Amino acid sequence: SEVLFDLGSTFEIISVKEDFQLNLCLIKLRTSNKGTKIAKEYIEFNRKEEEETSIELLFGKLLADMGQYDQALKYFQNLLLDNHTKKDDIANINNLIGTIYYNKDDFKQALQYYELAYNLMMNDKSIRMKDSAKPLTNIGLVYHQKGQYNRAYELYMKSLEIYNKYYGKEHIKSTKILMNIGNIYTETR
């Protein structure tokens, strides 16, 4: 059966289970009036932050932002297996999986997924230069975390060039990169 709901709806996640026989991920939700304002603010913020992100990815990102890393990971892995997932979303899904591993302090796995996302974007028929700054930044974060500051700096600078070109120097994305560069300077004094 199919259930449709509006973005204004708020749900409480009861459980997330994978059904291998049906090749589905079953997500049990309960309607709730808790957090309607928070949900609206979250969606609005993410729409501004990630203007090209599909609603499918926003749901998985919400799970991850709530600290539900294992559920988010299963959700994204199922999206990768789903034949209906948009081709353009595959690189972004890999980038988001990398972020889940990064948040779980598994930097080796995070790096693999970030590099895969970057390579998918760069090898796309129409090279997705604008999008490539996101995994580049994330790769920089891994090297930064590992104390490889020169490599992190190079990647941040490459990301900054892309963000400045496509969004402008005043955009929040450029500002975040400058903060990362500032952190390198602070940590290496």
Q: Cβ distance 84 to 98 under 8 Å?
A: no
pLDDT at 5: 57
Give whole-number Cα distances, 24 to 19, 66, 75, 77, 181, in Å: 5, 22, 10, 11, 42
Domains of the chain, with CATH numbers? 86-187 (1.25.40.10)
Distances, alpha carbon 156 to alpha carbons 4, 34, 139, in Å:
41, 39, 9
pLDDT, mean of each 10-residue run, the chain (189 residues): 56 81 81 64 60 77 92 95 88 97 98 97 86 97 98 98 93 93 95
Residue-level pLDDT at 86 = 87
Residues composing the chain: 189
- Taking each helix axis from N to C end, the angle separating 87-103 and 69-81, rounded to the nearest 10 degrees, works out to 160
- Say how far apart CA 73 and CA 85 lie, in whole Å: 16
